[in-house]
Copies of this chain bind each other. A is one copy, B any other.
Amino acid sequence: MAPSFVQNGGFPAPRTAPTSVTGRFASVYSDVQSSRVNHPLRLPSVLEKPFTIVDGPQSSAAGNPDEIAKLFPNLFGQPSVSLVPTDDSNAALPDQKLKIGVVLSGGQAPGGHNVISGIFDYLQDRAKGSTLYGFRGGPAGIMKGKYVELTADYIYPYRNQGGFDMICSGRDKIETPEQFKQAQETAQNLDLDGLVVIGGDDSNTNACLLAENFRSNNLKTRVIGCPKTIDGDLKSKEVPTSFGFDTACKIYAEMIGNVMVDARSTGKYYHFVRLMGRAASHITLECALQTHPNITIIGEEVAAKKLTLKNVTDYIVDVISKRAEDNYNYGVILIPEGLIDFIPEVQHLIAELNEILANDIVDEDGLWKKKLTDQSLELFDLLPQAIQEQLLLERDPHGNVQVAKIETEKMLIQMAETELEKRKQEGTYNGEFKGQSHFFGYEGRCGLPTNFDATYCYALGYGAGALLHSAKTGLISSVANLSAPVEEWVVGGTALTSLMDVERRHGKFKPVIKKAMVELEGAPFKKFASLRDEWALKNSYISPGPIQFTGPGSDAISHTLLLELEAQA
């Protein structure tokens, strides 16, 4: 069992408990939701006592520091910071009433409400008389000045609850000069001392641009980011994981574990499970480490080895054939949602199709196909008919092929079926194959946060409050040492510019926080790679059961995080 991050017993009473859960919640909360509201949240020791903020060394950038310096003249090079305990009362932060705004940006992730609770409780504890505004519906709320004042009564029922419905989220970006102007006006109208942006890589890049913009315009408003995404692809050495990943993976792993028991009991289905996570395959890898499926496809490996769709199909079919020799005509296969994006030849085919569809008529006799390159034509002909039709018929509003709509798990089932049928004819396969498709996504995105995510988010928010109180800007709230007990967690802020690189778009350099991909040399992938052949042929299924917050295993951190932390130690 992985080490627990929460020590037993001794939880402090909740800080801001109104006498009861009020309003619409009283009637519509389930027993579990009500009980989770009162689940006490611990803080790292450093946040429980007087602390001071210590600067680290000057920082650089993840890549192209010269360009980042040009893009962030006011922020580039600023140090990351740590919170450390102090006995020196002069070092304590000033008595001050702050006005702080908070915004949720992008897709839901379990724990967002706890970040807000953490900010609020910081202000209650350390900057009495402060005000917290929640911008509604994401960054659009900042631009339009749509907000609500967040009070204890307002916030309390959302503690430890899933979803983002306290103030909702949105996917707008603050990009144009006019939009930055709107944000400035809102900051000035509300007299904001600080703003916390809870989001993924894009949103944190945006937070940094906003911090730079506010500073260059001499606004007093500081901006702090918070790492949010179930996909787990916003992380670095100082920001060990994004919140939501732990909860989503535990929920998916429970469902996968159930499906595994079904597979073994029924003995006649291959379950192809597609898992959320488009840009990176962390969720798929973590779920594999938790459940031990027979086959797991990791997008980053497919890309690194330049595998074709045929290669991926052959790998799947090889395992299925070998298992059939042992009379196992069943299994469980995990596939990342973004698999197709990792296969270069598919990207080429789609680019060619977009070009052809924009300029030519797709004739029924297939003459249009002559415009495809040989490689793309070969791939197109390999695809199941339903996928061919989908590629030709379904377009987004720009007329492009809708890659995101391709149900990869169904495509692979059909391709495996065809290949197995061929092998049967050739006499090299003698089993029975039936595929069942699944997609696990939305059911994990808004689950009740696990103990880990609940506690982690609360610390992220509380820490963000401390960073703003000490007038820091352009940092992302970071909590580390996460495999230790909560008391020993390390709290600080990481310079957002230090996470950045540039990408060239439309002839201009754009700053980006590079998505953290599954590292093929990283400990989680290497552990998986060392075990997958065994998992392929033996049935080493693990069915984790419901472990979000009670019972054995509910206090374990994710395998990915644990392995990464162990490797760093």
Residues on the B chain within 8 Å of A549, using CB:
551
Minimum CB–CB distance for A31 against chain B, Å: 4
Q: Are A261 and B162 in contact, CB atoms less than 8 angstroms apart?
A: yes
Q: Are B258 and A545 in contact, CB atoms less than 8 angstroms apart?
A: no
Given A258-B251, A544-B32, A545-B448; A265-B442 close (CB under 8 Å): no
Given A258-B251, A258-B444, A436-B442; A546-B548 close (CB under 8 Å): yes
Given A264-B165, A265-B163, A546-B546; A255-B443 close (CB under 8 Å): yes
A534-561 Cβ-contact flags toward B at 8 Å (1 or 0): 0000001111111111111100000000
Minimum CB–CB distance for A164 against chain B, Å: 4
Residues on the B chain within 8 Å of A442, using CB:
258-259, 262, 271, 436, 438
Residues on the B chain within 8 Å of A282, using CB:
none
Residues on the B chain within 8 Å of A165, using CB:
261, 264-265
Closest to A256 in B: B443
The A376-408 residues at the B interface (CB cut-off 8 A) are none
Residues on the B chain within 8 Å of A251, using CB:
258
A242-272 Cβ-contact flags toward B at 8 Å (1 or 0): 0000000001001101110110111100010
Task: Give the distance in Å from the alpha carbon of A251 to the alpha carbon of B255 in the complex.
Answer: 9
The A435-451 residues at the B interface (CB cut-off 8 A) are 436, 438-439, 442-448
Task: Give the distance in Å from the alpha carbon of A137 to the alpha carbon of B264 in the complex.
Answer: 12
Given A265-B165, A446-B261, A543-B448; A1-B551 close (CB under 8 Å): no
Residues on the B chain within 8 Å of A108, using CB:
261-262, 265-266
Query: Which of A33-41, A42-50, A199-207 forms contacts with chain B?
Result: A33-41
Given A168-B267, A264-B165, A436-B442; A36-B259 close (CB under 8 Å): no
Residues on the B chain within 8 Å of A90, using CB:
none
**From A161, A444, A448, residue with most partner B Cβ within 10 Å:** A448
Judge if A569 is at the interface, Cβ distance under 8 Å: no
Q: Are B552 and A446 in contact, CB atoms less than 8 angstroms apart?
A: no
Judge if A367 is at the interface, Cβ distance under 8 Å: no
Which of B27, B163, B553 is within 8 Å of A261, CB to CB?
B163
Task: Give the distance in Å from the alpha carbon of A289 to the alpha carbon of B264 in the complex.
Answer: 32
Task: Give the distance in Å from the alpha carbon of A439 to the alpha carbon of B437 in the complex.
Answer: 10
A102-136 Cβ-contact flags toward B at 8 Å (1 or 0): 00000010000000000000000000000000000
Residues on the B chain within 8 Å of A164, using CB:
265
Judge if A169 is at the interface, Cβ distance under 8 Å: yes
Q: Are A31 and B547 in contact, CB atoms less than 8 angstroms apart?
A: yes
Q: Are A35 and B444 in contact, CB atoms less than 8 angstroms apart?
A: no
Which of B1, B255, B443 is within 8 Å of A259, CB to CB?
B443
Q: Are B36 and A264 in contact, CB atoms less than 8 angstroms apart?
A: no
Judge if A304 is at the interface, Cβ distance under 8 Å: no
Judge if A28 is at the interface, Cβ distance under 8 Å: yes
Closest to A166 in B: B265
Q: Are A543 and B162 in contact, CB atoms less than 8 angstroms apart?
A: yes
Q: Are B163 and A262 in contact, CB atoms less than 8 angstroms apart?
A: yes
Given A258-B442, A436-B442; A553-B168 close (CB under 8 Å): no
Residues on the B chain within 8 Å of A1, using CB:
31
Which of B33, B542, B543 is within 8 Å of A543, CB to CB?
B33
The A138-175 residues at the B interface (CB cut-off 8 A) are 161-165, 168-169
Q: Are A258 and B543 in contact, CB atoms less than 8 angstroms apart?
A: no
Judge if A8 is at the interface, Cβ distance under 8 Å: no
Q: Are B259 and A446 in contact, CB atoms less than 8 angstroms apart?
A: yes
Closest to A448 in B: B545
Minimum CB–CB distance for A244 against chain B, Å: 12
Q: Are B445 and A262 in contact, CB atoms less than 8 angstroms apart?
A: yes
Task: Give the distance in Å from the alpha carbon of A261 to the alpha carbon of B540 in the complex.
Answer: 34
Minimum CB–CB distance for A141 against chain B, Å: 13
Judge if A568 is at the interface, Cβ distance under 8 Å: no
Q: Are A447 and B258 in contact, CB atoms less than 8 angstroms apart?
A: yes
Closest to A364 in B: B364
20 A/B residue pairs, CB under 8 Å, sorted by A: A28-B292, A28-B541, A30-B257, A30-B544, A30-B553, A31-B547, A31-B553, A32-B545, A32-B551, A33-B543, A35-B551, A36-B545, A108-B262, A254-B546, A258-B444, A258-B445, A271-B442, A438-B442, A448-B545, A546-B548
Q: Which residues of A contact B (CB under 8 A)?
A: 1, 27-36, 108, 137, 161-165, 168-169, 251, 254-255, 257-259, 261-262, 264-267, 271, 292, 436, 438-439, 442-448, 540-553
Given A31-B547, A163-B264, A259-B443; 8 other pairs, CB 8 A cutoff: A30-B544, A32-B545, A33-B545, A35-B552, A168-B266, A255-B443, A271-B442, A438-B442
